[in-house]
Amino acid sequence: MCLLFHKVFILHHQLFTMSQSTFHLYDLKIEVINGEKPFVCSHQLGEAFEVRGENLYFKSEIPFSLYALAALLPLLTPKQRPLNHNDWMATDHIVACPDPNCGARFKISRIGKRMYERAATTIVPLPEQNDWTEKE
Ligand SMILES: [Zn+2]
């Protein structure tokens, strides 16, 4: 009886530890949509790429503007993470082309959610207290 209790305790501890060392990121899709003006750059309506974890996935042989990508990159990692209800990042999903004369817009959508093991993503030890995390 005592051994069974001990095994259940260890299993519970392992599951708790496992849940404490994981986190979720959203998969994103970024696609070209029409704005109110014609495109100036070489964008093609519907061209897209996806973000999964730290990686970008482009459809082979379909180009994506380097300038547009440069403008989008700072927005992608925040949009992969859970966001505060009041954060503008949680509501503003259409981004304009950096060329002010170009009508292209880029729609950022969440298309999935993946769980990651902390140990697979960093070697930095988890601190006991962390002011960077949001309190519930
Ligand atoms: Zn453009």
Q: How far is the CA of 125 from the centre of ligand 1 (A)?
A: 42
89 three-class SS: helix
Domain of residue 96 covers: 23-117
pLDDT for residue 13: 46
Overall domain count for the chain? 1
Q: How far is the CA of 100 from the centre of ligand 1 (A)?
A: 8
Is residue 3 a part of any domain in this protein? no
Q: How far is the CA of 87 from the centre of ligand 1 (A)?
A: 27
Is residue 135 a part of any domain in this protein? no
Share of the chain above pLDDT 90, in %: 76
**Is the pTM higher than 0.75?**
yes
Is residue 41 a part of any domain in this protein? yes
Is residue 6 a part of any domain in this protein? no
Is residue 79 a part of any domain in this protein? yes
Is residue 10 a part of any domain in this protein? no
Query: In the chain, what is the straight-line distance between the N-terminal and C-terminal CA atoms, in Å?
Result: 38
Is residue 67 a part of any domain in this protein? yes
Question: What pLDDT band is residue 135 in, cutting at 50, 70 and 90?
Answer: confident
Question: What is the arithmetic mean of pLDDT over 104-131?
Answer: 95
Q: How far is the CA of 65 from the centre of ligand 1 (A)?
A: 8
**Alpha carbon distances (Å) from 38 to 33, 68, 100, 105, 123:** 11, 16, 11, 11, 47
